[in-house]
């Protein structure tokens, strides 16, 4: 009996195929913290499920976009043309993800974005999808929480006019907050790379506001929060998932105490068996973008397994767009447009840790 089993295993090994999934992430540059975190999740997911149900091996082909739009496009094209990948995962920022989507659509290769939340990023796309929520949902969710649960009625918004991510979140938050009866007293515009917010902080001090909404990426958000608290602007603040990475806390230290934000996942509240298994294998606090990267991988593998009789990019793409899956970050369903339906988690930073506060369902 043992000889038969050994023979079958050897036979499976000798005749199994190897397929590649392209991973396109910012591993260096200004947004490297997002990319490194997602890659950690993708690698762990691959170690947990490194082959298809028929024994065929899955190999990751990883490229660094350096957070650059041109590199996002060219590296994705190399993966498809030279590496012959069956699917793509990436990027992290909306502008760069659009470049990866260009390749996916041109070459008809399925793409799953772990964190590109812009509302319209999937418009007129056939081979692209995401496992994250969109900006409208997370912006509206925080507006509801701030108005209903925290009873804040007067708000100022600080948005990055050079980032689609920030513009979309600001608009969604403002519309929902006004709809509920709240007042937006002022909206201030900054640009990516700004470092001195002293004039803006002085203006905010003259406003009678309950809350400041900062839909920014972690670099600008951290600089603003640190400067504001050092200049004795003590108004409560909140952000979106751009500050979900631990880097935001590292950059702000104690000055981010009380900061609230929207997120996709809470390490202390795993809601699925896969989440519990993933946390056990990770052996530590699982960051949000690590979990999102893992879910992008698991959704891709699930679709590939559903196509074993016809393992083609088209079949994989069709199966991704039928996803109903209990992932690491919770239940995820993906529709024909590639958009994901999922919950939003509200967190607060306290003692330099992310503390779960609430869950808002779609």
What's the pLDDT tens digit per position in 92-107? Answer: 999 999 999 999 999 9
Give the pLDDT of residue 262. Answer: 97
Q: What percent of the chain has pLDDT over 90?
A: 91
Q: Both tokens of residue 211?
A: 């809350």
Work out the number of other CB atoms within 10 angstroms of the CB of residue 176: 19
**Angstrom distance (rounded) from CA 244 to CA 246:** 6
pLDDT tens per residue, range 135-188: 999 999 999 999 999 999 999 999 999 998 999 999 999 999 999 999 999 999
pLDDT at 16: 77
Count of alpha carbons within 13 angstroms of residue 106, beta-carbon side? 12
Strand partners, 18: 57
Query: Which segments of the chain are extended strands (E)?
Result: 18-25, 57-64, 87-90, 111-113, 128-130, 154-160, 183-190, 211-213, 237-239, 260-263, 324-327, 330-334, 340-341, 344-350, 353-360
Locate 140 and state its tokens. Answer: 């509206």
Q: Residues 162-174: pLDDT tens digits?
A: 998 999 999 999 9
The model's confidence at residue 32, banded by pLDDT at 50, 70 and 90, is very high
Rg (CA), the chain: 21
Q: What is the mean pLDDT of the chain?
A: 94
Angle at Cα 218 formed by Cα 164 and Cα 157, nearest 5°? 60
Both tokens of 268, joined, read: 């202390």
With 0-12 / 13-18 / 19 or more C-beta atoms within 10 angstroms meaning exposed / middle / buried, residue 341 is middle
Here the tokens at position 233 are 């602007």
User: Which tokens sit at 102?
Assistant: 């260009």
pLDDT of amino acid 14:
52
In order, the DSSP letters of 13-36 are HHH--EEEEEEEE--SSTTHHHHH
CA distance 132 to 303: 17
Which pLDDT band, with edges at 50, 70 and 90, does 10 fall under? very low
């Amino acid at each position: 009996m043992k000889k038969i089993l050994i023979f079958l295993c050897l036979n499976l090994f000798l005749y199994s195929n190897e397929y590649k999934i392209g991973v396109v992430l910012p591993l260096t540059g200004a947004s490297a913290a997002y990319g490194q975190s997602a890659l950690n999740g993708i690698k762990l997911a691959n170690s947990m499920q490194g082959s298809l149900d028929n024994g065929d091996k899955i190999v990751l082909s990883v490229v660094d976009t350096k957070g650059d739009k041109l590199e996002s496009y060219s590296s994705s094209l190399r993966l498809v043309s030279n590496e012959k990948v069956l699917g793509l995962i990436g990027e992290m920022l909306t502008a760069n993800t659009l470049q990866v989507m260009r390749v996916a659509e041109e070459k008809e290769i399925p793409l799953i974005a772990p964190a590109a939340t812009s509302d319209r990023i999937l418009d007129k796309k056939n081979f692209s999808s995401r496992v994250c929520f969109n900006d409208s949902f997370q912006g509206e969710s925080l507006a509801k929480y701030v108005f209903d649960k925290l009873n804040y009625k007067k708000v100022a918004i600080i948005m990055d006019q050079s980032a689609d991510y920030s513009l979309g979140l600001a608009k969604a938050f403002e519309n929902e907050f006004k709809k509920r009866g709240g007042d937006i007293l002022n909206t201030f515009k900054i640009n990516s790379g700004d470092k001195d917010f002293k004039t803006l902080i002085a203006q905010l001090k003259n406003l009678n506001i309950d809350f400041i909404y900062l839909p920014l990426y972690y670099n600008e958000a951290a600089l603003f929060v640190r400067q504001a608290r050092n200049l004795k602007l003590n108004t409560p603040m909140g952000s979106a998932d751009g500050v979900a990475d631990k880097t935001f806390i590292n950059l702000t230290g104690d000055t981010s105490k009380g900061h609230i934000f929207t997120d996709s996942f809470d390490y202390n509240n795993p809601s699925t068996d896969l989440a519990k298994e993933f946390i056990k294998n990770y052996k530590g606090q699982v960051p949000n973008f690590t979990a999102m990267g893992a879910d992008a991988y698991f959704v891709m593998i699930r679709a590939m397994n559903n196509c074993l009789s016809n393992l083609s990019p088209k079949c994989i793409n069709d199966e991704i767009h039928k996803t109903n899956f209990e992932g690491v970050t919770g239940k995820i369903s993906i529709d024909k447009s590639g958009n994901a339906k999922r919950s939003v988690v509200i967190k607060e930073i306290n003692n330099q840790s992310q503390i779960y506060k609430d869950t808002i369902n779609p």
